Amino acid sequence: MNRHAEIQFNNQVHLYENDTIMNIVDASQHSIHYAQDIVEKWNNHNYFPKRMRPLEVNQQLLIITMEECGELIQECSKLLRKSTLSPEETDNLKKELGDVYTMINLFQEYDHVSFTELEERETVKREKLKQWSDL
């Protein structure tokens, strides 16, 4: 059995068995050392969370989308601090936008949304943006 764990954004620890996410431990109210301890125990087969079960595909889809959106937010924040959108500074932004785009496509592939629905929503959002921004 191949086990590994990863510390994600906001000290969430993802626990994997054979590349399937088994559980997520919310360590956000604890120190990074607490999260690191969970990772070490999991990797050494000394940590077994209660009610552990593989996450369903839809749960994985939602969790990974949340993570990717968080990474996009973080990259936007970095660029705002730098006050630039120059081509040499936007490589990570393109990567994070691509990751979110991938997750949107997966929502469509799993029949949770259609491209028609997304295009309809885009029309509504563009109208709002005309009213409330210069975009």
Q: How many helices (H) and strands (E) does the chain have?
A: 4, 3
- The model's pTM is 0.62
In DSSP terms, 7 is beta-bridged to 13
Work out the percent of the chain whose per-residue pLDDT is above 70: 93
Quick check: 13 and 38 in contact, CB under 8 A? Answer: yes
pLDDT digits (tens, 9 = 90+) for 48-83: 665 555 677 888 899 899 999 999 999 999 999 988
CA atoms within 13 A on the CB side of 78: 13
- Tell whether the model's pLDDT for residue 43 goes beyond 70: yes
Sign of CA dihedral 107, 108, 113, 118: positive
- Tell whether the model's pLDDT for residue 101 goes beyond 70: yes
Please tell me the predicted confidence (pLDDT) of residue 11: 76
Euclidean distance between CA atoms 44 and 24, whole angstroms: 17
Quick check: 16 and 22 in contact, CB under 8 A? Answer: yes
For 52, counting Cβ atoms within 10 Å of its Cβ (0-12 exposed, 13-18 middle, 19+ buried), the class is: exposed
Pick the closest to residue 24 from 2, 1, 54 (CA basis): 54
